[in-house]
Amino acid sequence: MKSLLAIIEPKKFSRVSVVGDLHGDYRTLTALLEVVNLGTDLLVFLGDYADRGPDGVEVIRTVATLQQKHPKNVVALMGNHEDFSELGEPQFNPCTLIEEASAKTGSWGNYFTGELKPFIDTLYIAALIPDNALLVHGGVSTKLTGSDDLKMPSEELRLDLLWSDPTNGDGEDPNYARGAGVEFGSDVSASVCKSLGVARIIRSHQPQLAAAKPYVSHGGRVVTVNATSVYGGAPFVYFIDPKSTEKDSYQNVKR
Ligand SMILES: [Mn+2]
């Protein structure tokens, strides 16, 4: 089985361009691709490609095509909205993609087997920029004790990575609001960053928190980003200089 951790070589890219939840917002995806340079950037998607917005099928097709055309410059991560059983049953709610894909392609079963499952099989669970940042959809937990844990994560850790949210204060509690993952405090993100040798965690999963600009918490150690307008707001691409933790920036796009 392939490693589910993508390790990014800083010297290979001038920027790491990070795209948060898209949630079927194809118009925003086309706008944000205009501010990314696929010749020199590494483009990292943080997951949650479909559901809520109208065009999950088109978003997934576009990301899959980008992966094929630019295999060295595109990394796509899994979000909790890409968590399906082998038979195509969503492990989350709501899955509006079922109705959308049935209407657009004629059959959920054929769409899942022929298009969605092959895409899901390409997804990583996390990406690591050594000495810089961990990129992940939801968050981290005390089950994460080093980068080896990310290569073939246990089912419990996998769910924490997909579903967790940062919280104020210290400690770790079950994420009752989500029904999966944890709420992790500042001490947890600090110890996870230390064990991975990174300065911070870049994640999405709460686009409302970052509606128009990055949301920084845990003393700068956790940054939440957003690339969808399905909740309103102004989506953006988040840029990291892979050789520095001090030069992050972002650019809003008009859909
Ligand atoms: Mn999510």
**Computed from CA positions of residues 241, 242, 248, 253, in that sequence, does the dihedral angle turn out positive or negative?**
positive
Q: Judge whether 182 and 173 are in contact, CB under 8 Å.
A: yes
The rounded mean pLDDT for the chain is 97
Residues 142 and 170: their CA atoms lie apart, in Å, by: 12
- For residue 38, the CA-to-ligand 1 centroid distance in Å is 25
Pick from 210, 219, 165, 216: nearest CA to 19: 210
Across the range 196-205, mean pLDDT stands at: 98
Question: Is pLDDT of 127 > 80?
Answer: yes
Q: Could you tell me the pTM of the whole model?
A: 0.98
Question: What is the share, in percent, of the chain residues with pLDDT greater than 90?
Answer: 98
Per-residue confidence at 2, pLDDT binned at 50, 70, 90? confident
Q: Give the CA angle between residues 83, 88, 91 to the nearest 5°.
A: 35
Residues 65 and 26: their CA atoms lie apart, in Å, by: 14
Sheet bearing 172-174, strands edge to edge: 165-166, 182-184, 172-174
Number of H helices, E strands in the chain: 8, 14
- 15-27: pLDDT as tens digits: 999 999 999 999 9
CATH fold for domain 5-252? Purple Acid Phosphatase; chain A, domain 2 (3.60.21)
Across the range 191-201, mean pLDDT stands at: 98
- For residue 16, the CA-to-ligand 1 centroid distance in Å is 21
Give pLDDT, residue 150: 98
DSSP string, 9-64: -GGG-SEEEEE---TT-HHHHHHHHTT--TTTEEEEE-S--SSSSS-HHHHHHHHH
- 207-240: pLDDT as tens digits: 999 999 999 999 999 999 999 999 998 999 999 9
- For residue 89, the CA-to-ligand 1 centroid distance in Å is 17
- For residue 138, the CA-to-ligand 1 centroid distance in Å is 6
Q: Judge whether 51 and 82 are in contact, CB under 8 Å.
A: no
Residues 144 and 9: their CA atoms lie apart, in Å, by: 22
- For residue 168, the CA-to-ligand 1 centroid distance in Å is 19
Q: Judge whether 249 and 197 are in contact, CB under 8 Å.
A: no
- For residue 126, the CA-to-ligand 1 centroid distance in Å is 14
Residues 146 and 254: their CA atoms lie apart, in Å, by: 39
Give pLDDT, residue 129: 98
- 129-158: pLDDT as tens digits: 999 999 999 999 999 999 999 999 999 999
- For residue 11, the CA-to-ligand 1 centroid distance in Å is 30
Give pLDDT, residue 88: 95
Counted residue by residue, the chain has a size of 255
Question: Is pLDDT of 92 > 80?
Answer: yes
